[in-house]
Amino acid sequence: MSIEEFEELAQAAHRIANGLRLEFVEGKLSAKPLPNANHGCIVAWLIRMFVLNRPELWLSTAQGLVVGDDRTGRARPDGVLADAEAFVGQGKWADADPVLMVAEVTSHDEDADRRSRTDKPRAYATAGIPVYLLIDRAAREVGVYSGLSADRYQQVVTMPFGTEVLLPEPLGITLDTEPLEQWAP
């Protein structure tokens, strides 16, 4: 499937299927499950944490990204952190260059969870995104991926919900993850 065909399909699916979000990561077409209320609470909490700690940044929940080493992937992270004006005029699928962090919150869909743990870290790393934050509701832990190399993150720190988690530079903030305990799973 070409990128043009995927983008047409994704747009039609979103229109026809009441907000269905398609992704094309690592050469695989997939549907991203619609979030439930707890998922939404976690994303809202993340937005609040960045407004309090880094108000010059914006955590977008709707921005699609061009990802992968050959830039043929299309991902819709649960959160995309960048300068507040980074995506002005970019459209549905923006270049990942200005992105400082992406966040994914696991769902109850096995396939989506697998993509969040395996395919997406590689796609985000090859796109040059400095930090990948994985909030794993099933395992009740937070994973922070950082230290980019050519096609992967060199450092992965996993901490249980309820602990303080350092988001490394270029973010340099600490998240108290205690509130996550009430929204998992």
- Look at residue 2 in the predicted model and tell me its pLDDT: 83
- Look at residue 55 in the predicted model and tell me its pLDDT: 95
The residues spanned by each domain of the chain are 35-183
- Look at residue 112 in the predicted model and tell me its pLDDT: 72
From the list 180, 184, 181, the residue with the least C-alpha distance to 44 is: 180
CATH architecture of the domain with range 35-183 = Alpha-Beta Complex (3.90)
- Look at residue 122 in the predicted model and tell me its pLDDT: 92
Element of type H or E holding 147: strand 141-148
**Could you read off the pLDDT tens digit of each residue along the chain, which spans 185 residues?**
787 888 887 887 776 766 677 767 877 777 766 677 898 999 999 999 999 999 999 999 989 999 987 788 999 999 999 999 999 998 889 999 999 999 999 987 777 777 788 889 999 999 999 999 999 998 999 999 999 987 899 999 999 999 999 999 999 999 999 999 999 87
Q: What is the pTM of this model?
A: 0.86
Tell me the C-alpha to C-alpha distance, in Å, between residue 147 and each of 65, 78, 129, 130, 169.
Answer: 20, 21, 10, 7, 10
- Look at residue 19 in the predicted model and tell me its pLDDT: 63
65 forms beta bridges with 75, 94
Q: 29: how many CB neighbours lie within 10 A of its CB? A: 14
